[in-house]
Copies of this chain bind each other. A is one copy, B any other.
C-alpha cells in the first residue's frame, strides 16, 4: 500500500522539491532513502571530502562554510527545513557542513538521485530554480560583505533572519508590531557569517538594544521592536554629510 511509504505524512512534502512528484514516483525514489540524525555541533561533511549523499533537510539548521589553511572561516550558506543539502554532479564537496542545531536528514545516495533526476525533468527544474535562488542570495550577501559596515551588516543579518521566518504575506504590517525571531546561531557564528569578529557583533547588538531597535529576551531569541529603524540601519546612506 502506498500509505505505508515514509513520505506519506511528511510535512516537507508540501513545500520541498519533492512536491512536484506523484505518490508513485516519490515512493520509487523513497525506496533508496534513509533518514539520519545529527547532533548539534557535529560535522556532516568536510570540505574536499567525497560527496556521496544528497539530502533534504527535515528539521534543524546546517551551516555551510569554507576555510582557509590557517583556520579563518567564512559561512557561505545555510540550510534548514525543506532545503536541500549536498552537491550533485560533483565528486567532492566544496564546503564543510556543520549542524547548528540537532538535524534530521532525508538522505539519498548521490548517484542514485542523479540517475532518478535524468528521468524526471520536472524535478531537475525544481533544482534549477533552487540553485538560481541560492545564487541570488549568495550575491546579495557578497554586496553586504564587500560594501557594508559593521552596523549595516548586523542589521542586514537580522532582517535576513526575520524574512526567513516570518512566512510570506507579511509585506505591509503595523509599524509598531513586535516580531520575535529565533536565532540558533552564536555570536561567533554570526561573525563568521558577516566576515567580522564576535566582539564587533556583540557591540552592534548592544548598540541596537540601547537604541530600542531590538530586545534580547533570552539567548537564541531576538525581538525586533522597530522594524523600520532596522531597515534604515541595514542600508545607511553614506554619500552626503553623514548623520551621527
Which A residues are within 8 Å of any B CB, using their own CB? 64, 66, 68-74, 76-77, 87-90, 94-95, 118, 121, 124-125, 127-129, 131-132, 134-136, 138-143, 145-148, 194-195, 235-239
Contacts and interface: CB of A to CB of B under 8 A. Distances in A.
Given A129-B89, A138-B139, A195 B146 contact: yes
Given A139-B66, A141-B142, A235-B69, A132 B74 contact: no
A42 to B, nearest CB: 22
30 contacts: A64-B139, A66-B143, A68-B147, A68-B148, A69-B235, A70-B236, A70-B237, A73-B147, A74-B142, A74-B143, A74-B147, A76-B142, A87-B132, A89-B129, A89-B132, A90-B132, A94-B139, A95-B139, A118-B121, A118-B125, A121-B121, A121-B124, A124-B128, A131-B132, A131-B135, A138-B138, A138-B139, A142-B142, A142-B145, A145-B146
Q: Which one of A87, A94, A128 has the highest number of Cβ atoms from chain B below 10 Å of its Cβ?
A: A128
A199 to B, nearest CB: 16
Nearest to A130: B131
Contacts of A94: 136, 139-140
Given A72-B238, A74-B147, A88-B132, 12 more contacts: A70-B236, A72-B147, A87-B132, A89-B128, A89-B129, A118-B121, A124-B128, A134-B135, A135-B135, A135-B138, A142-B142, A146-B194
Contacts of A148: 68
Nearest to A131: B131
Given A87-B132, A132-B87, A76 B139 contact: yes
Nearest to A64: B139
A96 to B, nearest CB: 12
B146 A237 contact: no
Contacts of A147: 68, 72-74, 195
Contacts of A132: 87-90, 131
